[in-house]
Chain A
Amino acid sequence: MTADLLTVEALAAGYGPVPVLHDVDLRVPTGTIAAVIGANGAGKTTLLRTLSGMLRPTAGRILLDGRDLRGTAVEQLVRRGVAHVPEGRGVIGELTVEENLRLGALWRRDRGDAARALDEVYQLFEPLAARRRHLGHQLSGGERQMLALGRALVGRPRLLLLDEPSLGLAPRVVAQTMALLRRLRDENGLTVLLVEQNVRSALAVADQGIVMSLGRIALAAPAARLRDDADLRHAYLGF
């Protein structure tokens, strides 16, 4: 029995007076991948933004390692081991590849390990090493994906929040990304919560599938069940 790294209880959030999330409960055990899937407007991105503190919950609790995250500022979250790769990946186009990556580790006190993490990212994503001095906006979609993931990884996060990593990428790049997430989970014990519209590739790599609909959790089940149980899939995912 692994402990849950992330626990969300009765979470509600929204934009101004407009509620988006209602009564969201979920658990992500340490060292597993959870895929949040659902239609456009189901509240997936809102969920991630609330988890990383950019949006304040109106009710409920978010626990990281059993500790309440309430009152933790967005800029402090990365120090608690949470890395959020936002919608559109958040590569800063005006900065070079190297600057983007360094930015991901600037908060770290252990400069030696930060430098090691940077080297590891360059080994993991070789195309980035060749383009260190290029500006972010000169990169291809696949390279941006690498940069966004690499920038999250130099912080050596425990929990990685990913918003639509497959968006706008070639199927081959999507497959590589998912394979990488699986590897990071298996080798480094990384915990991942990813939000995806690309249900098949998300479920292929996930341990748990969380189906959202109209701001609520419609179903949370082992990903294998969602993959294999045609009735369930049909009922909740429509294919």
Chain B
Amino acid sequence: MDRFLFLTLDGLSRGAVYAAFALALVLIWRAGRIVNFAQGAMAVAAAYVAYSVTAATGSYWLGFGAALLAGLLLGAVVDIAVMRLVDHRSPLNPVIVALGLVLLIQAVLGMVYGNEYLPAQTPFSRSALTVGGTAVLSPYDLFVFATVGVVGAALVWIFTRTAIGLRMRAAAFAPEVSRLLGVNVGGMLTLGWALASGVGALAGMLVIPTELGLHPHAMDLVFVSAFTAAVIGGLDSPPGAVVGGLGVGLLLSYVSGYAGGDLIPLAVLALLMTVLLVRPGGLFAPVTARRV
């Protein structure tokens, strides 16, 4: 029972990160109908910026801030310099370009930093606190929950309570009408990319230290897990991404705890396939009628 509790809490902590990363995917999907397959590589790039800044200044938090800033900027740059130039008439084009970006970013990171695992530090201890003899959450887990919670709440606030959030939603739903109402649609799309990439960078910063460390491919499996979470949630639904993220986190924690960590990649792919076969629209997708 203690073990189950531990795995559950650990799974939720891991799931919180997947949720944040899935949320980033959902943000871009809603803004521009693109699944940003480059998001993992972009997050890793931001984490390397953090590594450099922390190495130069000795401060984890300066590195953390630099990663978020780098994430925001990278998102904007990818939109303006790459995605805007892609012909979107075929949905496959941006996907291929995103995959190309992955190769490019990973190759550049490998050239600059090398293809070795670099240690990634955490600001708080990762040893679990024990309550009444039972190992529960570590201070770092609590930090992860708090950070993801704050970011989630901030996103909800931005999108539902601010004028810029209203503009972003309008631009995503009805670009032409929004332009007629004076909304800078291109600017809103870039802002969406920046926000999503910033959230992705944050998720990367949170998850990389809990895995093997910093590496150009450090986010590959996380990306697949988060993508699965986003698909479970329906890609269009931010709450769906959160629920999907927590669910995937729990599942992977149980698999790794009861069946062995080697099975994690297999479990993720099996889950993704099952969801795509059974409920391709996701659990939170509105029911649509199909003519047969």
What residues make up the interface of A, taking CB atoms closer than 8 Å to B? 52, 54, 74-79, 83-84, 86, 90, 92-95, 99, 102-104, 106-107, 151, 155
Contact = CB atoms under 8 A, between A and B. Distances in A.
Interface in B42-83: none
B173 A86 contact: no
B167 A92 contact: no
Contact of B163 (A77, A86, A95, A106): A106
Contacts of A103: 166-167, 170, 178, 181, 183
A102 B179 CA distance: 14
Contacts of A84: 180
A79 B184 CA distance: 12
Interface in B158-198: 163, 166-167, 169-170, 173-174, 176-185
Nearest to B164: A106
Contacts of B178: 92, 103
A106 B166 CA distance: 9
B285 to A, nearest CB: 14
In this complex, the interface size class of chain B, counting residues with CB under 8 Å from chain A, is 10 to 19
B234 to A, nearest CB: 15
A77 B182 CA distance: 7
B181 A106 contact: yes
Nearest to B178: A103
B180 A92 contact: no
Contact of B184 (A75, A83, A86): A75
B163 A74 contact: no
Contact of A92 (B174, B179, B182): B174
A82 to B, nearest CB: 9
Given A95-B169, A103-B166, A106-B167, A54 B184 contact: no
Contacts of A107: 181-183
B185 A95 contact: no
Given A78-B180, A106-B166, 17 more contacts: A54-B176, A54-B180, A74-B180, A75-B184, A78-B181, A86-B180, A90-B174, A90-B180, A92-B173, A93-B173, A95-B169, A99-B169, A102-B163, A106-B167, A106-B181, A106-B182, A107-B181
Contact of B173 (A76, A77, A95, A102): A95
A152 to B, nearest CB: 9
24 contacts: A74-B180, A75-B179, A75-B185, A78-B181, A78-B182, A86-B177, A90-B174, A90-B176, A90-B180, A92-B170, A93-B173, A94-B169, A95-B169, A95-B170, A99-B170, A103-B167, A103-B170, A103-B181, A104-B181, A106-B163, A106-B166, A106-B167, A107-B181, A107-B182
A99 B174 CA distance: 13
A86 B170 CA distance: 15
Contacts of B180: 52, 54, 74-75, 77-78, 83-84, 86, 90
Contacts of A76: 182
B156 to A, nearest CB: 15
Q: Which of B167, B169, B182, B183 has the most CB of A within 10 A?
A: B182
B183 A75 contact: yes
B279 to A, nearest CB: 22
Q: Top 10 nearest A-B pairs by Cβ distance?
A: A107-B182, A90-B177, A78-B182, A74-B179, A94-B173, A92-B174, A84-B180, A75-B179, A75-B182, A92-B173
A122 B166 CA distance: 20
A99 B177 contact: no
Residue picked from A76, A104, A107, most chain B C-beta under 10 Å: A107
A86 B181 contact: no
Interface string B213-254: 000000000000000000000000000000000000000000
Nearest to A73: B179
A102 B170 CA distance: 11
A151 B182 CA distance: 12
A95 B174 CA distance: 10
Nearest to A148: B177
Contacts of B177: 86, 90, 92
Contact of B176 (A83, A86, A155): A86
B173 A79 contact: no
Nearest to A54: B176
Nearest to B185: A75
A230 B247 CA distance: 73
A151 B181 contact: yes
Contacts of B167: 103, 106
Nearest to A83: B180
A74 B181 CA distance: 9
Nearest to A151: B181
A106 B167 CA distance: 8
A124 B166 CA distance: 24
Contacts of B166: 95, 99, 102-103, 106
Contacts of B181: 78, 103-104, 106-107, 151, 155
